[in-house]
Structure 1
């Protein structure tokens, strides 16, 4: 099961953090189910990968480090080819700076938590063989 937190409301609604981050940051291109069929997929010429087959394409091992690096995007990884995808690490850092400017915080921890939540959710989306 993924990382879940409660909202503290009377009904104690549970939020799936990984799914929340994925839907808000990735689904426009990759689709709600990760199949590469999001509403913006036809706009990007290079094609959008099916994220449900990451493990299958990696000898049935989920490539966590590679997924993390691709989502983060701040390090230039030559093997990944062109950078059509947004640099989420940079964007998450800017959002944290805007949100937490009155507080002392570690921006890398905020960035890392959000990226790992997405990666964990992608791990749950992997197709069964």
Structure 2
């Protein structure tokens, strides 16, 4: 019974997200970015967060991803780097595997529901990154 309630909540959340506007996804992604990424990449996305100087590798700016890819935002590559569970490691390895961290926070939902939440969080974050390209 608990599983069905959780699944229903996730289904409703997923449907509302799917019906939402891209700007809504951008706002959700901005919140996600500020909570999880800005400490290294900086609030502006230029790679100058408060922890950047403590890193053993250079923290890249994230506002020029499209410019470095002939004007096209590399959506799938960015998804894979952020998620990290496919073996694609950002920055040569030290970047957290956000897909694993996000999933650990919602595992009680069950494997399928948790995976939907993880993918939604990653996608919202990527939509936000796409919106800050210069």
Instruction: Identify, as 1 or 2, the structure richer in strand.
Output: 1
Asked whether the 8 Å contact 1:2–1:18 carries over to 2, the reply is no
Q: 1:3: how far off?
A: 1.7
RMSD over equivalenced CA pairs, Å: 1.9
In the TM superposition, what whole-angstrom CA distance separates every residue of 1:69-121 from its partner, at most 9, and x where no partner exists? 0000011137x562110000000000112xxx3x5661110000000011000
Partner of 1:3: 24
Highest relative contact order (Cα 8 Å, sep 6+), 1 or 2?
2
Tell me the TM-score normalized by structure 1: 0.80
Does 1:16 pair with 2:37? no
Give the unaligned 5+ runs of structure 1: 5-14
Distance 1:60 1:34 in 2: 18
Distance 1:26 1:81 in 2: 13
Instruction: Point out 4+ residue stretches in structure 1 off by more than 4 angstroms.
Output: none
Does 1:66 pair with 2:77? yes
Give the unaligned 5+ runs of structure 2: 1-21
- Matched residues, number: 112
Instruction: Identify, as 1 or 2, the structure richer in helix.
Output: 2
